[in-house]
Structure 1
Amino acid sequence: MHTKTISPTAIIFWMLLIALFSAISTTIFSETLLNDRFGFALMAIAIVGLCLNITHMVLHTLLAICNPSH
């Protein structure tokens, strides 16, 4: 029987993307300075996380291409 598994890296990627969109909407529609600062902080964290996650995915893809036996 063939079962499909969901990659934890893909789950983290989509969660960080949702966090980024949430932070953008919080910043756009916020009425207080506290929410603006929270939105900007969450955006920074999400962008750094996305960059690290994408780097991880690219490196593993290159490894899979260069070493197909693994």
Structure 2
Amino acid sequence: MAKVLELVFDAEHGTAKLTVRNPKDSLTPLEVKTAMDQMVQGNVFISANGFLVSPKSARIIDRTTQDIVLP
């Protein structure tokens, strides 16, 4: 099972996505929003579309892989 937290931001010239592998199960929407706001305010990341301007959305993506044993 692979789980990632996908953070989407409005950037200077479009949108930007950041993914975090294996996020904590106990994350709250407020914690995610606060972290995203801090990333924007700190100008810590620059994407192909420029600096991050504001948080847009966030989601957790959970993928499960099951091998099939062929006869």
TM-score calculated relative to the size of structure 2: 0.30
Q: Which has the higher strand share?
A: 2
Q: Which has the higher helix share?
A: 1
Higher relative contact order (CA 8 A, sep 6+): 2
TM-score calculated relative to the size of structure 1: 0.30
